[in-house]
Amino acid sequence: MIRLRLVPAKTNIGFLNQRLKAFVLSAFLFVASAFLFVTTGLNYGIDFEGGILIEVGTPEPADLSVMRGALSGLDLGEVALQEFGRDTEVLVRIERQPGDSTAQQRAVAAVKEALSKEIAGEISYRRVEFVGPKVSAELVRAGTLASVLAVIAMLVYIWFRFEWQFAVGAVMALVHDVVLTIGVFALTRLEFNLSIIAAILTIVGYSVNDTVVVYDRIRENLRKYRKMPLTELLNVSINDTLSRTTMTSATTLIALLTLFFFGGAVIKGFTFAMIWGVIVGTYSSIFIAAPLLIYVGLRRDAMGESPNEDEDSAADTA
């Protein structure tokens, strides 16, 4: 039987030799992401901002400039239009109107009337949503709390499964992945909504799973090669799991890229976040989580006594 391998069975890539360059790159991206978040901010969706969302279907390809001109004179405050999937589908986002639900309904009626005057043919309204300020504030709190609790839960899980040094490395890699994901959304101005929070939580799980595979091999090799220098041992462990890591990432990316290009606009933000998360999660497992063990005081005796201390051949780690 022929087995597909994206990397050779025996690899000896010097990942640990590049750790300082990787740390510098990650630090730069981390700071840049934080800077973008603070200065530019995220393009929050209606889930977090509150307001009115109307999905409009037009008989012919929509002319956004005409539609924008029709709505600009309604005195509804900020109005944003964007194509949604096909060129005959448009999302109209309107800031929340002062007053109760009756004021929101009047705004929707005014939008429908203005568009019917400017667009020839029958217009369909696929979706109309209202999100108030109280609900949006609760969603922000819930989304933030879910992300923080997920990271804490991963910290506890890694701590109990391995040692605290592994937990520190895993959580720092997790925070790295989450911050870089937020940064790329601040840079691209893609809409940040509840589905992106779901993607971030999924990224947390994926990244930890990838990191745990590497950590398992590190723990195994710590028991097996007790005289091997730690830097060399970490490098051997990463190379041992490289085939599995690349295969998992590649197959996941194939599915995500298919969804991104053919899944429609509704899930495009979610799939983009997942694609980015798989890439940075794979990177951090190799270049962040494992190398950090050198700097957090990892002790060999914490892994227990080796049943066989007659070891010094890295060739047996395949």
Query: Could you identify the residue written with the tokens 């060129």?
Result: 87
Q: What is the Cα–Cα distance from 88 to 67, expressed in whole angstroms? A: 12
3-state class (DSSP) for residue 192: strand
51-131 CATH fold: Alpha-Beta Plaits (3.30.70)
Task: Report d(CA 314, CA 122) in Å as an integer.
Answer: 72
Neighbouring CB atoms inside 10 A of 314's CB total 19
> What is the distance between the alpha carbons of residues 74 and 111, in angstroms, rounded to a whole number?
8
Q: In the numeric block, which tokens belong to residue 286?
A: 């190799």
Cα separation, 272 vs 260, whole angstroms: 7
What are the structure tokens assigned to 72, written together? 């600009």
How high is the pLDDT of residue 119?
79
Q: In the CATH scheme, what architecture does the domain 16-43+136-317 have?
A: Up-down Bundle (1.20)
Count of CB atoms situated within 10 Å of the CB of 152: 11
- Measured CA to CA, the distance from residue 60 to residue 73 in angstroms comes to 23
- Separation of alpha carbons 30 and 11, rounded Å: 30
Kindly give the residue spans of alpha helices, DSSP state H, lying in the chain. Answer: 19-39, 46-49, 64-72, 101-118, 133-161, 164-188, 194-224, 230-262, 268-284
Find out whether 282 and 249 touch, Cβ atoms under 8 Å.
yes
- Number of neighbours of residue 18 by Cβ within 10 angstroms: 14
Angle among Cα 304, 309, 313 to the nearest 5 degrees reads: 115
| DSSP per-residue string spanning 65-129 | HHHHHHHHTT--S-EEEEEESEEEEEEEEEPPPSSSHHHHHHHHHHHHHHHHHHS-S--EEEEEE
- Show Cβ contacts of residue 30 under 8 Å, excluding neighbours closer than 6 positions: 176, 179, 180, 183
List the domain boundaries for the chain: 16-43+136-317, 51-131
Structure-token pair, residue 280? 């940075």
Cα distance between residue 138 and residue 146, in whole Å = 12
Predicted local distance difference test score (pLDDT) of residue 177: 92
Rounded distance between C-alpha atoms, residue 92 and residue 55, angstroms? 6
Contact 45, 139 (CB under 8 A): no
Strands 86-94 and 79-84: antiparallel
Reading the chain (318 residues) residue by residue, the pLDDT tens digits are: 445 566 666 777 888 888 899 999 999 999 999 999 999 988 887 777 778 888 888 888 888 888 888 887 788 777 778 777 777 888 888 877 777 778 888 888 888 888 887 777 788 888 888 876 666 677 778 878 888 888 888 788 888 877 788 888 888 898 999 999 999 999 998 888 888 888 888 888 888 888 888 888 888 888 888 788 888 888 989 998 888 888 888 899 999 999 998 877 678 889 999 999 999 999 998 999 889 888 887 766 555 544 444 444 434 433
State the Cα–Cα distance between residues 224 and 233, nearest whole angstrom. Answer: 10
Q: How far apart are CA 193 and CA 306, in angstroms?
A: 50
Please, what sign has the CA dihedral across residues 229, 230, 231, 235? positive
